[in-house]
Each structure stands twice: as C-alpha cells, then as structure tokens.
Structure 1
Amino acid sequence: MDNDGLLERSFSSARSLIGLQLVSRIFTFVLNQGLVRLASPQAYGTVAVQFELLINTILFLSREGVRNSLLRVWPQQGDAGNDSKRAQQLAQCSNLATVPAMVGIPVTLLALMAYGYAASEDARSQPFFRIAMFIYAVAAVIELCSEPMHNRAMGEARTSVRVRAEGLGILSKTALTYLALLLDRHLGEQKFTLVAFALGQVTYSLVIFIIYLVDMPDLRFLPVRLSQASSPSFVAGRYRLLANFFDLNAFYLSMTMTLQSFVKHFLTEGDKFLVSYWSPLRDQGGYAIAVNYGSLIARVVFQPIEEICRVYFSRVLSFARGPTRGSSNDMSAARSALKQASDALSTLLSIQIVLSILAVTFGSLYLPIVMQILLPRRYLTTSAPQVLFAWVWYIPFLSVNGGLEAFHSSTASPDDLREQSWWMFGYSGLYILAAISFHELGLGDASLVYANIVNLSARILFTMAFTFRYFKKHTNSVPFGVSDIFPGWRFLGTVVVSYAVISVNEKKQHIVELSRSRALFSVPVLLHILMGGSMGLACVAVWWLTIGRRVVAKLKAKTA
C-alpha cells in the first residue's frame, strides 16, 4: 500500500470530518442558544447529563471494542493477496461488524433497569420522564443497527458517507428538538421538554440509519456462516463454532477492547456519574451547558483528528506488526512506515500544543466576555461559569491525550491492552480521589474538570512511555525529542507579552465589570476584543515564521 497516498487520504478525511463538525456545530450552536433559553436548568440537566450518560453507556459498551479492532483488520483494496483470501477477510469483518447490534439489546435492557432504579426522585418526578427514557433507549438500538454500515464506511475510508449521515443527523436532531420545544412553550405548560429532546435523539439515529442504508443496501445485519472456517481444524468446542463466523484473532482483540471499555467509559463519563450523584438538577444543567460549550473545540477539531489518526496508524503500521524477518523490500517498507508514523505523530503533537497554548492564553482572558453572550442569566447563577473556567485548562490535556491514545489503540497488542486495563483501574481510583479532594476544597462541580486533568496527565504519561517503547523496539531510536513538539522561545515570548498587555488593559479599562453589566458593545470592550485579535494574529505569525512553515512543508512533502 502507498503510505504517502494513505497520509494524503487521511488528511483529506480529517478535513472532511472537521468540516462536518464545524458546519454542524455552528448550526447547532445557534439553535442551542435557543434550546437553553427554552429549557429550564433542571430539564437540561436531566437530558444533557443523565439521558446522555444512559445512551453513551449503551453505545460505548456495545460498539467501541469492535470499532477499534475492525480498523486494524479491514482488508484494503491495495492489500497484497489473492481475491479469495480478501473475500474471506471481508466476510469475517462483516460478521464481526454485526456484533454491536446483537450485544446492544441486552446492554440496553440492563442500562434501562439500572438507570430507572438509580435516577433521583427530582428527575423521576418530571413529566413524561419514563417515556423520554424509553425513547432514548430505542434511539440507541437504532444507532447500533447502523454499525455494520459505519464500520464498512470507516474500513473502506468512505468518509463522505459518514459526513453526510452524521451531518444531516445532527442538523435534523437539533432542528426538531428546537421546534418541539417551541411548540411545547406555545401550548403553555412546558410538560413535554424531556420528550422533545428524546424525539430529537431518535430522529438523529433514524436519519443516520436511513442514509447509511441508502448508500449500502447490500449489507447484512446478522452474521452468516462462512464457506470455510477461519481457523485451523484443531480449534475445538465453542471456539470452533466462533471460527465458523469470525476470525478468532480479530474477535479476541475486539472482546479485549470491549472489556477494557468498561473502565475507559467510567474515565470518559466519570464526571457525569459524579455530578449526577452529588449536584442538584439545577447545577447539573449548569454543568452540562458549560461542558457543551467548553468541549466545542474538542468536538470540532480534536475528535475528528483522533478518529482519523486511529485509521491512519492502524493502516500504515500494519507493515511493522509481527516478526521483522523477511525480504529486504518488506523490511524497507516497515522502516519507511515507522518513520512516516513517527513524523506524523510528532507533527500532530506539535500543532496540538501550539493550539492549546493559544486556547489557554486567550480563552482565560476573554472568557468573562464570552460567558455573557453564551449563558442566559439564569445559568449564570449555576455552576456553569466556574466549570467553563476550568475547561480552558482542560483543553491542552484533552488534545495531547487524544493523539497519543489514537496511536496506542492502533498499535497495542492484546498484552499491551491488558496492561493498560490494569493501569486504568489505577486511573479510576486517582480520578475519584482527585474529584473528592477538589470537591472538599470547595471547587464545586469544577472539581470534576480538574480531576479529569489529573487523570489525563497520568494517561498521557502512560501512552507516551508506550510510544517510546514501541519505536525503541522497532527502530532502536526515539520517535521525537522535546524540540520536535514544543514551540520555540520566540513564540512563547510573544504569547507571554500578549498575555501581559491584555491583562493590564483589562484591569485599566475595567473590562470584566463592563461585561457583567452587559455593556458588551461599549468602546472599551470592543477595543479590548480588537487588541486580543491583533495579539492572537501576532502569535500565529511568529509561530508560522519560526516553525509553522517547516511543519507544513514536511506535510506537503509527505503527501506529494
């Protein structure tokens, strides 16, 4: 396979996914401004914390392991080998892709029973709570039925199908929810708020399923017995039965990743578990809206990049798996793949660190102004402001961890995954201890964000150590040095000067007080915003002149 072509296709896919996130998030951002003004903090907290936790638990536990394993083994058009072998591999992967929908039904029933038992009295007392909860569960099952088609689209790098499906799904979901809330308000009693959000969620799932089905009408939804067994004849008992449907190595890998996802899910959604436990519904609504806004950059930029990195590293480093003995051409291809992966990872980390520094610097300075625009007045008295401030510091850790974990999940062996699973138990304990400690210190709901920073710091150290061990094993050298990923002193100096100048002007002109009094269009505030924009462009220009040009030139050379 042409690795340079793969890199180019990966960047093209990343651009498409970022474009999807950007367009859909701009649209949903506008409508969300209306949603949070139509829904009370209590109702919004139930939907955005508790119902989102319910559906995310079902989806994550049912599909995450299978998704990640299929990225590694899905046969490519350019792969060497005869057509019958490729057809066999494709049949095995298609069978494995049907597993999430089958697993999802019992997972959904268990999640419904657990949540119905654990939900607080305040949540259950809201109108049509159980009906809305049931609709969310149906939406999860419908979305899982799209998994065979989603995995095929990802395996064949058909990003356009996914962009169209998810883009229209998000737009339909938000528009229908908004219209339903408007109708509910028009009726006067506002009893159907939870049902309105639930109908939006099931619409999202239906739209995705229908678009995938139109593009891939020939896909099956249940596994079929293969014409020849995928494993040696000495496989016995229940394993022989599995071998009639799946490649046992891929099946074992997907089950290992699925078991690991139980711990990983808690680390990902642990804040929602804890905030639903110790905060009233009103503050849950404030926390949810703050996290939605705070994670906007993560969803628009970091999440698509992480997903494409999983695809890219899974493909390009297939050369480096297994024994390194072979023909000189094979060894040369493996070395080239490893060098390209190392360059891509260091470039990714370098850009993420620069963006993170800019986000922390200018985000912390201008958040008081932005909050007055984003948050309705009734949310300003919830935990939303303090959570948003914490999120500014969370972004750098989130971005760096995403790239490193994408590399780890793409290259880790089953033994590596088992080792990570044990470490994740430690991360869980660290997260809970940090969250309780910060909460006892009086940080409120923001303690969950700071605990996540501690948790991600530990995970970054683990994946960084794995990355260095991996390249040391295969190339006998380190993949990158500190100077390869951190910006130079000129850029950092410009950032420090910008922060100092903007801070002095903020205090001198009383910008925070003016923004709190909603004088957002006064001359001092507008000039302060203009100053920040100019300083931000200056920082970007210094980065471009000192480092950026070389980074872009390297990427162009790789994709040429």
Structure 2
Amino acid sequence: MAPPKSSLLSATLASGSSLVLLQLFSRIITFVLNQALVRLVSPQVFGTTSIQFELLLSTILFLSREGVRNALLRAQTDTQHSPDEATTRRLITNVSLLPVLLGIPTAAFSAFAYLAMSSSTTSSQPHFRASVILYALAAFFELLSEPMYIRTQNELRFQVRVRAEGTAVVLKTVTTFLVLVRAPEDWALVAFALGQTVYGLTMLLSFTVACRDNLDFSPKRVTVTKADRTDSLFFEPVLFRLSVAMTGQSVVKHFLTEGDKFLVSRLSPLADQGGYAVAANYGSLIARIVFQPIEETARVFFSKTLPAPSFDSKPKEQKDALRTAATVLLTLLLAFTHLFLLAVTFGPPYLSLAISLVLPRKYLATSAPAILHVYVYYIPMMAFNGVLEAFFASAASPADLRTQSRWMLIFSGAFVAAAVGLARGLDMGDAGLVWANVANLTLRAAYAWAFVRRYFRDREAGDVVGWRRAVPPMPVLAVFAGAGALVRGSGAAYGDVPLDLIAQKGHLATGVACLVGCLLTW
C-alpha cells in the first residue's frame, strides 16, 4: 500500500537531504584523494582510470540495471494488483533479479569489447588486463546487491543506501591510496581497480546485512487468479514490459550521457584524457553533491505521487496529486534558474583565478582549463535536464518511451556531428565535446518539458504548470545583469594582474559585494 502523500513527501525530503550529505561527505573525501592522486600518478594513468575504466564500469551498470530500477520505482502504481499482496511482492522480486541476469553477459561482453578495441598505447600499460577484469568484477558485485537496493528503496529505507555508499566510499578511498603509496609505481592501475572492487563488495555486504531477515531472491513462478482466468507467471506483466522498454532506451540514453567520454577515449591522447578527467571531477563537484541526489529523490517522489494510469483514484485525489507534483517540479526548476544565474554571472570572471589555485601545475598544459570554463554552462543544464527527465521517467508509458527513444537517436546523431565539428572542425579540442553536451542536454530538457506540459494538459491540469513560475521576477534578473556587468568590468581592469589572491583582492572584493547583493535580492 502506498504511503500517504504527506509522509511520502517527508520521507522524500529526508532522503534528499541524506543523499546530499552523503554526496558532500563522499565528494570531499574523493576531492581530497584526487588532489593527492593527480600528484602521485601521471595524466596517462589518471586518464585511463577516470575516463576509460569508469566508462566501462558505468556501461555495465547502466545497461544492466537502470531500466529495471526506474520501472520498479513505479511498482505501487503500475502493477496489476493481485488480491494476494505476497504474490505481488514475489512478482516484483522476480523482476528485481533481472539486473543480475543481465549483468553477467553485459559485464563479460563489455570487458571483452574494451580489451579488443583498446589502443596499443593504453593496453601496453602494466597490469592493464588484470585491472579491466577487476573493474568488471566490481560491477558485478554491485549488480548482486541490486535486488536488495530496490527493496529498500521501495520500502523508503533510504538510510540503508546512505550507510552503504558512505562506508564503500571510505574503504575505496583508503584502499586506492594505500596501494598507490605502498606498491611499486607500475601497480597504479591495479590500485584504482582494487579500490573499485572493494567498493562493489562493500555495497553487496552492506545491503545483505540490511536485508538479512529475508534473503530469498531465487525466482519463483506464482499463480495469479483474476476473474475466471488463472495465469502462472514469473514476472508482473506491466512492470516487465516497462522494464524492457526502459532497458532498451537506456542504450541510447547511456550514449548521450557518457558520449563525451566515448569520444574523448577514442579521439584524444591519454595525457589529454587525464586533463579531461581532472576537469570533469572538479567541474561536476557541485552537480554530484547537490543535483544528483535531487534528481534521484525527485524520481522516487514523482513515481509514488503521480496518479496511476488506470485513474482508479477519486478525481479530487488525482487533482491534488498532480498539483503537488507540479509544485515540487516548478520549485526545483526555479531554484535551478537562480543557480544558473549565479554560475553565468560569477563563473567566467573568476574561474581563471580558481583554476590557477586548485589545478595541479602539470595539468595547466592539458585541456582541463578550457573544459572547466565550459562547465559553467554545462552544470546548470545537467540540473535542468536531470529533474525534467526524472519526471518523464516517472510518468511515461511504454509508448512515450518508444517515442522518446526515436528522438534520442536523432539527438545522438546531432551530438556526434556537433562534437566532431566543434572539437576538430573549429579546433576547440575537448572543450568542443562539452559544448556539444550542453546542446544535447538542452534538447533533451526541452523535449522533457514539452512532455510535462502535455502530461498535465491531458489530465485537465494544464493551469498548474507554466514556464513563468520557473523564472525569477524582473528585479532579480535586473540585479544579476548589473552584477554581471560590474564583475566583468572588474575582471577586465585586473586582466594583467597576476593570478593570486593578494594581487586580485580588489577584483575579489567586487565579486563578494555583488554576490551579497544578488543573494539578498533572491
């Protein structure tokens, strides 16, 4: 039985704050580790692990579990409810086993394909094959915990995930660092691989302990009787079809999400891949700490709040649910609009100073500085697209998913053409790939927003959504515009001054004063 909307909202907000704290904790640890790692290892090793190995890991996990995970968040609204609640739970459990079954061939094929396609420069690094095998094994450990992850999410036991991931991040960090410090230099790739393996194993053990009261995850056929018909089933039909549709779509979505890493790994030398990885780690810090938890909790909230397609609830309950969902969505979009204004107002004039203070000197000659300048625009678009696609994933029917998949194929072609054209044709290098990603996210967000408008309009609730409610009032926009002009004028005046805090103190004072004014107006 679904929880009341008020308790669901409270649980979702608690989940969101917990995940933000988790991401803050894990990202601080990861940031400190990376500051040490980029000084301990070469850009070539860092590029291999942070671009190519991470891409291999995310490919296995995304293709194996993402579709099933998103479908099962809707288990309480999209299931064909059985008179027997235990039977319904068993059917859902059977569906939750699909990531494990998909993970075995996906991990084996992905690892084999990666080894076959790796360049001689990459594959000639010490212990390369052993590291690839360890990453595939780490992915499979995570997939083994997926049925238990899905159970705890649907039971709103979000603290289980927070504890599991927090512990796993600490152990991964300690393992990687210790192996790098203690082992010979040629074991650098293995250090990262062992850290990831410890992460996957910790996740599996943590969820096993949390679900130790019932670890019966073997698939079982059940008998369901409806009216005068009796069926023998392994999977709940609606959820299974939705899982298949979302898994098929995840192939295209994964390429769009990780397309820049695909292209960087094929087009750029290892040293520039290291620079790209450093820039991505620094540039996406805020996105991972704040926006990713918000996207995940929004997906849970929308999945549990939006009315079931059968519309078996009362009209007033349907209207209230739609209004609640619209309020949450528009509030998030309004907050992201303010953050976008902050980024574009203060990012460009002060980013060069920040880069000179934070980025290790040997990475200043790579593509990292140029990429970080584009992240000013990339991160806000990640936020907009994330929450809008969270709504889409929570409300879309299989037919909607098929339509979106066709559009995503078009977006994929446009992304590749733009990426190659900007990176090579206009000689923008790896920064061109990020600009192509900005355009890609903009198109995807626009498509999801069009779906949101149509979704509410078809349910006679079109009046509860409108773009004006996601845009700040004119006085706020005017203050941000004035602040942007002032800090850019200050930046031009200090253009020939050395990039250090003392020399740039006047420029910094201007920025602080303008920032206070913008925040007060907000």
TM bin, normalised by shorter chain, reads over 0.9
Deviation sequence 1:427-451 (CA, Å, 0-9, x none): 1001011111112101100111111
Residue 215 of structure 1 aligns with which residue? 210
Identify the match of residue 238 of structure 2 among 245, 249, 263.
249
Q: Secondary structure at the match of 1:175?
A: helix
Q: Secondary structure at the match of 2:20?
A: helix
Q: Distance in 1 between matches of 2:273 and 2:195?
A: 20
Residue 63 of structure 2 aligns with which residue? 61
Residue 395 of structure 1 aligns with which residue? 379
Q: Distance in 1 between matches of 2:132 and 2:244?
A: 28
Structure 1 pair 414–80 and aligned structure 2 pair: CA distance change class (3 A): closer
Q: CA RMSD in A?
A: 2.1
Residue 279 of structure 2 aligns with which residue? 290
Deviation sequence 1:150-178 (CA, Å, 0-9, x none): 11111111111100111111122122212
Kindly state the Cα deviation for residue 182 of structure 1 after the two structures are TM-superposed.
Answer: 1.6
Residue 146 of structure 1 aligns with which residue? 145
Residue 447 of structure 1 aligns with which residue? 432
Q: Which amino acid aligns with 2:101?
A: M
Name which of structure 1's ranges 85-94 and 298-307 shifts more when overlaid on structure 2: 85-94
Deviation sequence 1:337-376 (CA, Å, 0-9, x none): 0111111111111011111211222122211111122211
Structure 1 pair 75–171 and aligned structure 2 pair: CA distance change class (3 A): farther
Deviation sequence 1:5-26 (CA, Å, 0-9, x none): 2222211111110011011111
In the superposition, the TM-score normalised over structure 1's length comes to 0.89
1:534 lines up with 2:475 in the alignment:
no
Residue 177 of structure 1 aligns with which residue? 176
Residue 43 of structure 1 aligns with which residue? 45
Kindly state the Cα deviation for residue 233 of structure 1 after the two structures are TM-superposed.
Answer: 8.4
Residue 555 of structure 1 aligns with which residue? none
Q: Distance in 2 between matches of 1:123 and 1:49?
A: 12
Residue 321 of structure 2 aligns with which residue? 337
Residue 192 of structure 2 aligns with which residue? 197
Identify the match of residue 9 of structure 1 among 11, 23, 28.
11
Q: Distance in 1 between matches of 2:225 and 2:36?
A: 54
Kindly state the Cα deviation for residue 231 of structure 1 after the two structures are TM-superposed.
Answer: 7.6
Residue 112 of structure 1 aligns with which residue? 111
Q: Distance in 1 between matches of 2:431 and 2:371?
A: 5
- For the 8 Å contact 2:77–2:308, the answer to whether it is kept is no
- For the 8 Å contact 1:230–1:244, the answer to whether it is kept is no
Kindly state the Cα deviation for residue 513 of structure 1 after the two structures are TM-superposed.
Answer: 4.3
Structure 1 pair 397–75 and aligned structure 2 pair: CA distance change class (3 A): closer
Kindly state the Cα deviation for residue 410 of structure 1 after the two structures are TM-superposed.
Answer: 0.1
Residue 265 of structure 1 aligns with which residue? 254
Residue 97 of structure 1 aligns with which residue? 96
- For the 8 Å contact 1:231–1:247, the answer to whether it is kept is no
Residue 404 of structure 1 aligns with which residue? 388
Q: Secondary structure at the match of 1:228?
A: strand
Residue 486 of structure 1 aligns with which residue? 471
Structure 1 pair 321–44 and aligned structure 2 pair: CA distance change class (3 A): same
Deviation sequence 1:115-144 (CA, Å, 0-9, x none): 011111111010100011111011011010
Q: Distance in 1 between matches of 2:80 and 2:193?
A: 47
Of all paired residues, the percent bearing the same amino acid is 44
Structure 1 pair 214–476 and aligned structure 2 pair: CA distance change class (3 A): closer
Q: Which amino acid aligns with 1:407?
A: F
Q: Secondary structure at the match of 2:498?
A: helix
The residue correspondences of 1:358-373 to structure 2 (distance < 5 A) are 358-373=342-357
- For the 8 Å contact 2:271–2:366, the answer to whether it is kept is yes
Residue 87 of structure 1 aligns with which residue? 86
Q: Distance in 1 between matches of 2:18 and 2:50?
A: 27
Q: Distance in 2 between matches of 1:80 and 1:534?
A: 58
Structure 1 pair 230–114 and aligned structure 2 pair: CA distance change class (3 A): farther
- For the 8 Å contact 1:72–1:314, the answer to whether it is kept is yes
Q: Distance in 1 between matches of 2:293 and 2:68?
A: 19
Q: Distance in 1 between matches of 2:123 and 2:298?
A: 41
Deviation sequence 1:474-504 (CA, Å, 0-9, x none): 1252432232110112112221222222222
Q: Distance in 2 between matches of 1:531 and 1:373?
A: 19
Q: Distance in 1 between matches of 2:516 and 2:81?
A: 51
Q: Which amino acid aligns with 2:438?
A: I
Kindly state the Cα deviation for residue 222 of structure 1 after the two structures are TM-superposed.
Answer: 4.1
In the superposition, the TM-score normalised over structure 2's length comes to 0.95
Structure 1 pair 67–330 and aligned structure 2 pair: CA distance change class (3 A): same
Q: Secondary structure at the match of 2:101?
A: helix
- For the 8 Å contact 1:75–1:86, the answer to whether it is kept is no
Residue 553 of structure 1 aligns with which residue? none
Q: Distance in 1 between matches of 2:497 and 2:188?
A: 35
The residue correspondences of 1:299-338 to structure 2 (distance < 5 A) are 299-317=288-306, 319-323=307-311, 330-338=314-322
Deviation sequence 1:194-216 (CA, Å, 0-9, x none): 00000110111111111111111
- For the 8 Å contact 1:431–1:451, the answer to whether it is kept is yes
The residue correspondences of 1:399-478 to structure 2 (distance < 5 A) are 399-439=383-423, 440-478=425-463
Deviation sequence 1:86-131 (CA, Å, 0-9, x none): 2222111112111111110111111111101111111101010001
Q: Which amino acid aligns with 2:212?
A: P
1:18 lines up with 2:7 in the alignment:
no
Q: Distance in 2 between matches of 1:234 and 1:513?
A: 81
Name which of structure 1's ranges 193-202 and 86-95 shifts more when overlaid on structure 2: 86-95
- For the 8 Å contact 1:397–1:456, the answer to whether it is kept is yes
Q: Distance in 2 between matches of 1:275 and 1:230?
A: 54
Q: Secondary structure at the match of 1:475?
A: coil
Count of aligned positions: 519
Kindly state the Cα deviation for residue 67 of structure 1 after the two structures are TM-superposed.
Answer: 0.1
Structure 1 pair 43–542 and aligned structure 2 pair: CA distance change class (3 A): same
Kindly state the Cα deviation for residue 540 of structure 1 after the two structures are TM-superposed.
Answer: 1.4
Q: Distance in 2 between matches of 1:437 and 1:221?
A: 53
